[in-house]
Amino acid sequence: MCGIAGIITTRRDRANDGRPDTPLSRMVGAMVHRGPDDAGCAWHEVGAMQVGLGHRRLSIIDLSSEGHQPMVDPITGATMIFNGELYNYRDLRAELEAGGVTFRGQCDAEVLLHALGRWGAETLERCCGMYALAYLDPTRRRLLLARDHLGIKPLYVAEQGDTLLFASEVRSLLASGLVPRRVDRRAVATYLAYGAVQEPDTIVAGVRSFPPGHAAWIDLDQPVPRIGRPVPHWTMPVPRPMSEAEAIEAYRATFDTAVREHLASDVPLAVLLSAGLDSTVIAAAAARHAADLRTFTIGFDDHADLDESELAAETARLLGTRHTTVPISSDDCRTLVPAWLEDLDQPSVDGLNVYLIAKTIAEHDITVILSGLGADETFGGYPSFTDVPRLARAMRQLRFLPRPVRAGLARTLAAGRPAAVRAKLVDLLTSDGDVVTLCLHRRRTMSNRQMATLGQDAATLDLHPLFVPPRLMDRVERGSDDLAWMIAQIETRFYQGNMLLRD
């Protein structure tokens, strides 16, 4: 991963005046862990605006200095900072070269820079990959912010009077010294309800997450810098009806292409392998395209019930990969907890496992890991794919009953179960019973009663009654009767987007 940071301000004292310690340099310095290979800052004066762009680089494609950022188009003067990877950059490069564009290096960032110069924001509709970017167009006196389809790469923004800041991490914005350190009460409520802060809110008041799958221009001729209305460059497609054979073939081809494109790397790469279906099919597809593929499995020495290392090793043997089992103990986990908490950008009840795995594999000089994140949303691996349809059928029968009667029924059904389970079932059976509500109630870490006990009121905080920011609820696509697709979409937007992708 890399890190980007930017400041747009009307105040010259916040721009680069030769001092080594400036708001932008502090922002970039706070993200050294995201990009230890290179760093850069560049300032531009556009009208009355001072525009500063900063970057931390983790080199993956084209390790030469030609990949240094901020990257400048030598002809137009356009400047870009980019965090992520484009998987179809070779195809885009070929198209640009056919149109007369020449390149200095081999990296995907340079392709994106020239693509934005040639096609503008429409470039994003052609991109296959994960990214957060800022693109300064000095000729038209504007700056583009954009984030990938699902929000794999983070991007946070803060508007502070005559200054606008953006960065890959909340801690980077705080490091500027220009963003007040105030906790957002709404974010605390969503964290308590779901175990992770729900976008677009962040734990810091005044800082918000830029929406996934959107782009926005900032007009640099404004009296003060403000982000224009974000416009979607992608929406989650509603599946078209097809036969089982067609679906299998379409998925197989798409999946194989995706894995092959993810193998593009000029640094050591490996697949994280467990005994599960998701990582196994990824490793199998990768092994077809990569010679001497490396796979890693975490082995739990003192938890045999969690240990999958023997089955994973057998899978690796069948696939012919160069396999490593990394043993981890409970003591290792306990030792790492303080460092994990210190490194969290925002509070989360999840993520220690990912932190432990990434830290351990990095010690084996592996820079890029392919994992099975996203497979449960695709393969229907979560219990919600079976629970929610059953609950929806039950609610169609129970909806005519008064809520107090449904609450009593829930307590009876959950008799003898823990109080938290009883409270969750009460919330489920007294709800409206639509798919979104049922899915979100299943993901709740605290019930409505527990939230009330802690003094959390959704209406007072301007939250949806399910303790979700209204903007996030507005992004849910409701144009399909396909229950499996609806569940997959909700799990992707909420659980994956706010929990798993932030780990």
Q: Where are the domains of the chain?
A: 3-232, 244-370, 381-502
Mean pLDDT over residues 290-300, rounded? 91
* Predicted confidence (pLDDT) per residue in 201-231, tens digit: 999 999 999 999 999 999 999 999 999 999 9
**CA-wise closest residue to 212 among 71, 84, 353:** 84
- Answer for the pair 225, 47: CB distance below 8 angstroms, yes or no: no
Confidence band for 301, pLDDT divided at 50, 70 and 90: confident
* Predicted confidence (pLDDT) per residue in 352-383, tens digit: 888 888 888 899 999 999 999 999 998 899 99
Confidence band for 19, pLDDT divided at 50, 70 and 90: low
pLDDT at residue 300 in the model: 83
**Which pairs from 249-258 meet CB under 8 Å and 24+ separation?**
255/281, 255/285, 256/285, 256/288, 258/87
Active site residue 127: no
- How remote is the C-alpha of 187 from its chain's centroid? 17
Q: How would CATH label the architecture of 244-370?
A: 3-Layer(aba) Sandwich (3.40)
List, edge to edge, every strand of the sheet that includes 49-57. 38-46, 49-57, 3-9, 163-167, 156-160, 207-209
∠ Cα 108 113 116 (to 5°): 120
Mean pLDDT over residues 48-69, rounded? 95
Q: Report the first-to-last Cα separation within the chain, whole angstroms.
A: 13
Q: What percent of the chain has pLDDT over 70?
A: 99
- Cα–Cα distance measured from residue 467 to residue 451, given in angstroms and rounded to the nearest whole number: 9
This prediction's pTM: 0.95
Q: Assess whether pLDDT exceeds 90 at residue 303.
A: no
- Cα–Cα distance measured from residue 456 to residue 353, given in angstroms and rounded to the nearest whole number: 30
Confidence band for 421, pLDDT divided at 50, 70 and 90: confident
Q: Assess whether pLDDT exceeds 70 at residue 165.
A: yes
pLDDT at residue 17 in the model: 56
Q: Which of 2, 41, 107, 127 is catalytic?
A: 2
Instruction: Please report where in the chains the tokens 């097809």 appear, as a residue.
Output: 242
Q: What is the average pLDDT value for the chain, to the nearest integer?
A: 93
The CATH number of the structural domain formed by 3-232 is 3.60.20.10
* Predicted confidence (pLDDT) per residue in 316-338, tens digit: 999 999 999 988 888 888 898 99
Mean pLDDT over residues 429-435, rounded? 90
Which of 117-131, 230-244, 338-352 holds the top average pLDDT?
117-131
- Answer for the pair 435, 392: CB distance below 8 angstroms, yes or no: yes
Q: Assess whether pLDDT exceeds 90 at residue 249.
A: yes
Q: Assess whether pLDDT exceeds 80 at residue 138.
A: yes
pLDDT at residue 208 in the model: 98
pLDDT at residue 44 in the model: 94
Token pair of 386, please?
């079976």
Sign for the CA dihedral angle at 421, 424, 428, 431 comes to positive
More confident residue, 189 or 416: 189
pLDDT at residue 308 in the model: 87
More confident residue, 268 or 353: 268
